[in-house]
Each structure stands twice: as structure tokens, then as C-alpha cells.
Chains A and B, each alone.
Chain A
């Protein structure tokens, strides 16, 4: 048997190594042009300063980051995180039973239920938000109904409050919680539940020790999917919060579209990006830890 010369093997390996490039190119191009380049721009802008009449002056400074520590902005960031947290918890509380119920439906009804979850996305979201205004306002349907039934005398103030913002955000992002939960619950092996039941576990115990732990990656994905857009949305706080609730999204939008202070807007956007990356990393780590168990200490065998 003739041995192949070493150089030929190396060449083959090199060819194999680069063979995937044509297939990776479109994806990489997208990532570089639409993700990496804007991020670099934001990073660059955040170290510059606002011109006297808007625009950007290219003097390097850390001023924008120093301004971030101002209690005003810290307060807004904390409010946003709080709002994201509340909305995520509510979405989980509502979304988990819904996803579980959908999984247990007969297959034909499952599809219909999933379409129903997605259906609101087919309507413009401004229209859906305005529908909430019609429902919640002081002269709105809910108040009219309650007053008509004699339950209340004076209209309840529901619109233009932080609670209205939370309801709007919950409504908007609930499907993003239900879908990952559904996919994680649907992919579970039904035999595990059967086995646990056969061994005498109560339905609650089956849920607690089998179904729920296996769905945790779905829970984490759903939480990130809801938390991130909920804390950075700026349209709902404006429409349902009556301009009295400010989230970090409003702050960033205002810097670009009202204050014409792009550098500070970029610094704020950077905070959001860093927060998002930290969340994704935490989610990955937690998800792996749940599915694979705690990492064992690797013993190096190489001498």
C-alpha cells in the first residue's frame, strides 16, 4: 500500500477546513453588516460628544458614561428592570398553564390553539395598543360597564398608570413566553410521566419532579424573550403610560429623536446591549447546568 505523502494530507485537510466558507459567507455577512458594524458604531459614538446643535463632535471623553451614574438615569434603568421583571413573572404565571394545556390537547386542536396564540401578531401592534386605550380609559368600555352595572360610581383610573403599561407589555409579549414553553413541554417523553404515575406519584408530584424540571430550559428562554423587549419597549409606556412612565427604551429614543444627543443615546443603548449579553450568558449557563448537572472537575490525564 502506497503511503500518501504527508503534504497531500495537509492539503486535503486545508481544503476541508475552508470548504464550508461559501456556505458560511451569507450568514457571516449578515452578522457583520447588521450586528457587528452597528455595535462598533454605537461603541464608537458613545465616547464622543453632542455638538452644539446636535450632531456628533469627535472629541473623546467618558462624559456619557459618567452621566449614566446620575441617579436620574440609574432610577430609569432600575424602573425598566423592575417592569421587565414583573411582566416576565406575570407572563410565566399565565403562560405556563396555557402551554401545558395546549400540549395536552388532541393534536388537531393543538394547531388551532397555537394559531390562536399567534393570531394577535397578524394585527398591527399600534392598533392592538389603542384597543387597550379604548378598554381602559375613564370613559372606556370597562368603566362604562362597571358604572352601568352600578358597581362603581366614579370611573376607576386605569389608563396612564404603570399598571396599564405592565398590562400592555404582558399582552404584547405573552406569546413569546408560551411558544418556547410549548416547544419544551411538547418534546418531553410522555412515557416519563407514565412511569412516574405507575410508580405511584401524585399528579402534583409528577409535575414537580418530572415535567417542570425538564421544562426549565424552555422557562429560561421564555423569560429572556419576554424580559428583554418588555424592559426596552418605548411605545407602550408612551401610549398606555401617558408619558408618565419612562423606561430605558424611551430614554434612548428621546436622546436620538428629541435631544439630538446621539453619543449619550449610544451609551444608553450600550448599557442595554451589555445587559442583554449578560442575560443570554446567564441563561445559557443556567440551562446547561439544569440539563447536564453541575460540572464535574475534569482530571487532566495528560502527563
Chain B
């Protein structure tokens, strides 16, 4: 027995040392308010096409801080970089609220140095009460919104009002609807339709969701996270579970596309900015967060990327024509707060992945 185990233990130990050697020490020194920021350089990771194209140049011109912006495609991708390496080289990471929560609980985030972020005052008061980080102690909200139904008002017989209109579509809509495939959002419509929490950790709830989704799957054109709006534009689909900002991309191409938050309610998702503990440029990182929270920068984001921002001063700068063209941009902070904030489910989250696999493979 033993002789068989020894080679294995060796391999495991080898793997373990390779892996743990990555988990380096974190620099925990207090921030220096008098630091010479121009000597610091920043690496920021954000979603592609989710920030002004000239952001790097503008920020450098305004502050003298050299900055490199790298892109990630998904939360999970940047989480992979942040949770497995020692110093990922990233100073500021844009992640959704529930991931900021997970990063903080893993001890990876630098608390926000409020004295260096005076622009925090621009935020709606509602934006300081978000479930994943009440008081914005280790994250600052960047953009927020909700999930609803994006539909072709000219091609559906009656406008949808309930998640059930999507989950159990009218016979003439069978094969013409899509749903999101990312696990938490795949489960959301069924959870809400049955009056459950989007953060449910009850296995019975998920079992019921699974039954519903396996029925729904037969009526779907596809599960689609990234191109559902172009399917709506082409008329391939007429109704899609959609994030509000992405539905706006469809509305931009066809004004017949409309967005509705179903009566059973939905989620409140927030994309946030976080500063990593491993950063050696924390003062510059705080200056960057502050720069983003200025009315001009986030105002540009809202006007051009068509996502709502939790920044009252910035929303005031949005052209009324934009607000008229994209009605969901008018949702107020109070409207959004009525929805349920998505939080990280820790050790229960693999259950959602399993559910998504069961539905996709079922």
C-alpha cells in the first residue's frame, strides 16, 4: 500500500508547492496622502467596450498617472487572475458586486480610502446601501441595472408582463424566445416567477426551478448571453431574457424593441470598481476610482454605453433625447432598489452551476 501512495504524495506535494508559491505576501501599509502620484503607474482591468475609448489618455492628462487598461470578457476570467496568482499585476479590477464581496471575504481587497475619493458624494444615497457591500467599504459602484424581458413589440401578440410569459410562452411564440445561460440569470426568471429569492440557497427551490426550466427549454430558440439582441433585430427571436443595458443595443437598431421588468420583480446587479491589496500604487488607484466617479466620466458612460450609473450628478448630464429613446435609462435609483441585490452564495454557488449544466444537458 505505502509504496503506491508515496509517488502520489510526491506529486501532490509538488503541485501544492507550485500552487502555494503563488500566494504571496500582501503589502498592507497605510496609504500615504502625500505620495507623488506621477511616480505611480496603474493597471486596470475592465470589460471591453465598457469605458470611454480615450479613458487612459484623458486620465493621464488629468492626473499625470501612467495607466494601462486591460480587458476581461467575464467576471470569472478576471477572478481567475485575481484568486490564483500572487500579484496579478492588476491594481484596479472592475467586477460585479457579488464578486467584489467574494474577493473581500477572501481578504484580497484594499478598503476604499474615502478621504481620497471626494467624488463619492456624487453617488445616489441608495447606492451606498447595496447588499454585497453596504457603505461601499471595499468597492465603488460603476454601473447598475436589472434583468427583464426584451421583446419585439411589433411581433408579439401581447406585451409580456410576467416571467411566465417567457417561461411558458404562448404557442405562437414557441421556438422564438431566448434565455440567458449564465447560471444565476438562467435560474432568475423561474425563481422570481415562483416567488423565491434570486439568492435562494434552498435545494428544493432549485429542484423546482430545474423542472420548470427543462419544460421551458423545449420552447426556447437558444440560451444566449451575448447575441440575443441581434436575434431580436433579425426577427429570429421575438422575446428574450435580457440585461437592460444590452437590450438598449437592440433598441438602438430597432425602436420596436422594448424592455420590461416583469411584475414578479427581478434582480439588481451592480458592476463595481475594486482596489487590490497587492497593488503597489494604491494612492493612484484611489485617484482613479475618484476620477471615474466624476460626473463627466460616468456621464459619458451612461450616455454612450447606455448603462445606468449610480451617480446622480452624472445622470443629470445625460441628454434627454437619450433618455427618451431608451426608456429603461429613466429607472430611478428607488426603482432599482426595489429589486433584489445579487450576492455571492459562496459554497452553494456550485449548485447553480450544476443546475445550469443539468438544464443545458437535459
Q: Which residues of A contact B (CB under 8 A)?
A: 40-41, 43-45, 47, 50-56, 58, 60, 72, 75-76, 79, 137-139, 157, 160, 242-246, 250-251, 254-262
List 22 contacting pairs A-B, 8 Å CB cutoff, sorted by A.
Answer: A44-B12, A44-B14, A44-B15, A45-B15, A54-B79, A54-B83, A54-B102, A55-B106, A72-B354, A75-B361, A76-B361, A137-B234, A138-B236, A242-B222, A242-B224, A243-B181, A243-B223, A245-B360, A254-B353, A254-B356, A257-B80, A261-B353
Evaluate contact between B357 and A243: CB separation under 8 angstroms. Answer: no
- Assess whether B83 is in contact with A139, with CB atoms less than 8 Å apart: no
Q: Are A139 and B234 in contact (CB under 8 A)?
A: yes
- Decide if A242 touches B236 in the complex (CB within 8 Å): no
Give 8 nearest A-B pairs by CB, closest first.
A44-B15, A242-B222, A243-B223, A259-B353, A53-B102, A246-B361, A55-B83, A160-B222
B301 at the A/B interface (Cβ < 8 Å)? Answer: no
The reply to whether A257 and B74 form a contact with Cβ atoms under 8 Å apart is yes
Interface size on B, residues (CB 8 A): 45
Given A56-B19, A243-B181, answer yes or no on A254-B357 (Cβ-Cβ < 8 Å): yes
Chain A residues lying within 8 Å of B361, measured Cβ to Cβ, are 72, 75-76, 79, 246
Contact call B182/A40, Cβ cutoff below 8 A: no
Taking A55-B83, A257-B76 as known contacts, 12 extra A-B pairs with beta carbons closer than 8 A to each other, sorted by chain A number, are A40-B14, A44-B16, A52-B346, A72-B354, A137-B234, A242-B224, A243-B223, A254-B356, A258-B74, A258-B353, A259-B350, A262-B84
Q: Which of A244, A257, A260 contacts B222 (CB 8 A)?
A: A244
B93-110 contact mask (Cβ, 8 Å, vs A): 1 or 0: 000000000110110000
Which one of A40, A53, A76 lies within 8 Å of B106 (CB-CB)? A53
| B305-362 residues at the A interface, CB under 8 angstroms | 344, 346-347, 349-350, 353-354, 356-358, 360-361
Residue in A41, A52, A245, A258 whose CB lies within 8 Å of B347: A52
Contacts of A137 in B (CB 8 A): 234, 236
Closest to B105 in A: A53
Q: Establish whether residues A58 and B16, one from each chain, have CB atoms under 8 Å apart when the complex forms.
A: yes
Q: Do residues B16 and A76 form an inter-chain contact, with CB atoms below 8 A?
A: no
**Given A55-B106, A257-B76, also A72-B357 (CB < 8 A):** yes
Expressed in whole angstroms, the Cα–Cα distance for A51 and B106 within the complex equals: 10
Is residue B62 contacting chain A, with contact meaning CB distance below 8 A? Answer: no
Q: Provide the residues of chain B in CB contact with A256, threshold 8 Å.
A: 80
Total number of residue pairs linking A and B with CB closer than 8 Å: 108
B77 at the interface (CB under 8 A from A): yes
List B residues 187-237 near A (Cβ within 8 Å).
Answer: 217, 220-224, 234-236
Contact: B222 with A243, CB < 8 Å? yes
Residues of chain B having any CB pair with chain A under 8 Å: 11-12, 14-16, 18-20, 74, 76-77, 79-80, 83-84, 102-103, 105-106, 175, 178, 181-183, 217, 220-224, 234-236, 344, 346-347, 349-350, 353-354, 356-358, 360-361
In the complex, chain B residues whose CB is within 8 Å of the CB of A58: 16, 19-20
The docked-state distance in angstroms from the alpha carbon of A244 to that of B179 is: 11
Given A55-B106, A72-B357, does the pair A259, B349 have CB atoms closer than 8 Å?
Answer: yes
CA distance A47 to B349 in the complex (A): 20
Closest to B98 in A: A53
A215-B165 Cα distance, complex, nearest whole Å: 57
Residues of B within 8 A of A245 (CB): 360
Query: For residue A52, which residues in chain B have a CB less than 8 angstroms away from its CB?
Result: 105, 346-347
Bound Cα distance A54, B220 (Å): 31
Q: Are A76 and B220 in contact (CB under 8 A)?
A: no
Q: Report A173 CB to chain B, min CB distance, Å.
A: 22
Query: A72-B358, A72-B361 known; A260 and B12 CB under 8 Å?
Result: no
A contact residues around B223 at 8 Å (CB): 242-244
Q: Are B236 and A139 in contact (CB under 8 A)?
A: yes
Closest chain B residue to A259, Cβ basis: B353
- List, in ascending order, chain B residues with CB within 8 A of A76's CB: 357, 361
A127 to chain B, nearest CB (A): 15
Chain A residue numbers with a CB within 8 Å of B236 are 137-139
Pairwise interchain contact B357-A55, C-beta atoms closer than 8 A: no
Quick one: which of A50, A139, A157 contacts B350, CB cutoff 8 A? A50
**B316 CB, nearest partner CB in chain A, Å:** 37
Pick from B103, B224, B354: contact of A243, CB below 8 A.
Answer: B224
Chain A residues near B18 (CB, 8 Å)? Answer: 41
* Contact (Cβ within 8 A) B354 A157: no
Residues of B within 8 A of A79 (CB): 361
In the complex, residue of chain B having the shortest beta-carbon distance to the beta carbon of A266: B15
Q: Closest approach, in angstroms, between the C-beta of B50 and any C-beta of chain A?
A: 18
B12 touches A53 (CB 8 A): no
With a CB–CB cut-off of 8 A, which chain B residues contact A72? Answer: 354, 357-358, 361
Inter-chain CA distance A255–B353, complex, in Å, is: 8
The answer to whether residues A242 and B221 also contact, given A41-B15, A258-B353 and a CB cut-off of 8 A, is: yes
Residues of B within 8 A of A51 (CB): 83, 106
Give Cα A138 to B176, complex, Å. 10
C-alpha spacing A187/B74, complex, angstroms: 49
CB atoms of B19 and A53 under 8 A apart: no
A53 lies within 8 A of B350 (CB) = no
Chain A residue numbers with a CB within 8 Å of B350 are 50, 259, 261
Q: For residue B76, which residues in chain A have a CB less than 8 angstroms away from its CB?
A: 257-258, 260
Give A54 to B105 CA distance when docked, in angstroms.
11
Residue of A44, A53, A157 near B103 (CB, 8 A) is: A53
Contact, CB under 8 Å: B222 / A53: no
With A53-B83, A53-B106, A244-B217 as contacts: A251 and B16 at CB distance below 8 Å: no
Residue pair B182, A258 in contact (C-beta under 8 Å): yes
Q: Does B360 contact A243, Cβ atoms closer than 8 Å?
A: yes
Interchain nearest-CB distance for B235 vs A (Å): 6
Query: Is there contact, CB below 8 Å, between B360 and A246?
Result: yes
* Minimum C-beta distance from B333 to chain A (A): 28
Is the beta-carbon distance between B19 and A257 smaller than 8 angstroms?
no
